[in-house]
Amino acid sequence: MGGLRDKIAERAGWLVASAYAVLRDKPLCDRCLGRLFGLLGKGVSNEERGRSLRLALVMTLHSLVRDGDEEAKKALVELAPRLCTVSRRLFRELGVECRSETCAICGGRLGELIERVAAISKAILEEYDASTFVVGVRLSGDIRRLEEEIVSKYSLPYAESVASEVKREVGKRLQALGFKVDFENPDVTLLVSYPDGTVTPVVNPMMFFGFYRKLARRISQSSWITRQGVKRYPFSVQDAYTPLQVALGGTSIVIHAAGREDVDVRMLGSGRPIVVEVKEPKRRRVEVKQLEKIVNEEWPGLFETSLEARVVRSFIRGLLKGDEGEERHSKVYRALVYVPDGVDPSDIKRLEEFFRNRVVRQRTPKRVRHRRADRIRERRVFRVAAAPLNHNMFVALIHAEGGLYIKELVSGEDTWPGFPDALGKQAVCVELDVLWVESRLRLKKGIIEEGAEEGEHGKAAQGLPASHAETAQEAYTREGRGSTVEPAHV
């Protein structure tokens, strides 16, 4: 027992002596003094910690004074402004006036600042219809240096930063109001500046996964603004989602599609996978299917979309590059082909037999070389099925690996072999539609299902091939965090 008692004496002595050393150096309020030992004792406020330490110090000095220690008496008198709040009568008896000093770290205004920041934060979360949040605190250089100086000068391994206290206390108040903390994917990140107490919201976009169908030609994917500042095409896939932006009160729209078709090519059938991102929405509690309806009602006969679920940012990566990447999708096309020299049933038969599981080598077509690397790629044509329309025209259904340029496959330009190699005749692609885009992307980790608990996500992921779940998981841990603004570290 003696051993532990000695250890306690030593450690308690260290605690009180540390408090003495710090207070001799700087005036600190209970809260800021207690925070220097913030990791000790749970469920205790820093204010209680600070007050207890201050009292223990006064008691220690008082016991020395009672034994006639002059040095201790001198310290009590000198430090009176930093000690007297815990034992006013003692100081009165010592004949010292109790004038307290302003705290060097918070100026005695921390409590008030926390309440003010919590009130501003609540208003912001309401403004953005947010239900989840995370608080980040940025300390001014002066405060950061002061904290570092105290902690290192007096070797205080259990100290916490004022930033942590602000984060925690503001968080507690917001949670008490029903808002939830979400470190991975908060609706709004609240960036608090300390000590001025301003709050800057970083609003997470809302992202929706779905499929789009372009029912008409001359629709570009993104709004194509020419050098003259006018739209190259009157309507785009991006424009089509404007009602979504309006419905959610967002500031802008960004689309992330798995590949794209030419402006003059329709996207029919299955539709193309897309993630629509609405920046800085002010309404979040809207049903996905309701949003889908709002978009579709706007463009009958022109454009259609399905919206499947809300997703997080890491999902986009999988959509564009992962197992679902554009190049991995096989597709079915319908091409209207013109043959100037005429086409007969035997030509059609030859074409179908020729393109049965055939690998095609293709150079990046001239028309896209300005945005795509000029290289030769190999892609497989799984099957072609064709039917003549008249003497010069036929319709072909083409099932091929993603990344094959179909207009060039038909014309044979920069493509070996192309349709002319099978037909022995020149061929021109007059019209083209995409009928089907392969997609295994239905439910995978990263999708936020409305109202679903975390456990449900796990279940959804279990229903997928392991590779899918892992890839998504990996992307999630790597990218997911990056998608939100990192809370400021102390």
Report the catalytic residues: 262
Single-letter amino acid code for the residue at 400 = A
When the beta carbons of 105 and 219 are compared against Zn ion, the nearer one is 105
For Zn ion, the closer of residues 105 and 469 by Cβ is 105
Question: CB 162 → Zn ion: shortest distance, Å?
Answer: 8
Name the minimum Å distance from CB 303 to Zn ion: 59
Query: Least distance in Å: CB of 29 to Zn ion?
Result: 3
Amino acid at 426: Q
Q: Shortest distance, CB of residue 108 to Zn ion, whole angstroms?
A: 6
Nearer to Zn ion, 106 or 114 (CB): 106
- Which residues are at the interface with Zn ion (CB under 5 A)? 29, 32, 103, 105-106
CA distance 438 to 3: 73
Distance CA(100)–CA(293), nearest Å, equals: 65
Question: Is 32 or 188 the residue whose CB approaches Zn ion more closely?
Answer: 32
CB of 326 to Zn ion, least distance (A): 56
User: For residue 213, how many C-alpha atoms fall within 13 Å in the half-sphere facing its CB?
Assistant: 17
Residue the block writes with tokens 């036929």: 394
In angstroms, what CA-CA distances link 154 with 19, 20, 105, 158, 269? Answer: 9, 10, 16, 11, 71
Least Å from the CB of residue 106 to Zn ion: 3
- Name 454's Cβ contacts closer than 8 Å, sequence gap at least 6: none
Cα→Cα distances 390→341, 349, 386, 416, 429, Å: 12, 15, 12, 27, 15
CA distance 21 to 10: 16
What are residue 67's DSSP bridge partners?
A: none
The least CB distance from residue 248 to Zn ion, in Å, is: 42
For residues 29 and 332, which CB has a smaller minimum distance to Zn ion in the complex? 29
Residue 311: name the closest of 487, 203, 441, 462 by CA.
441
- Between 98 and 263, CB nearer to Zn ion: 98
Nearer to Zn ion, 18 or 415 (CB): 18
Nearest-approach distance from CB 14 to Zn ion, in angstroms: 22
Of 104 and 124, nearer to Zn ion (C-beta) is 104
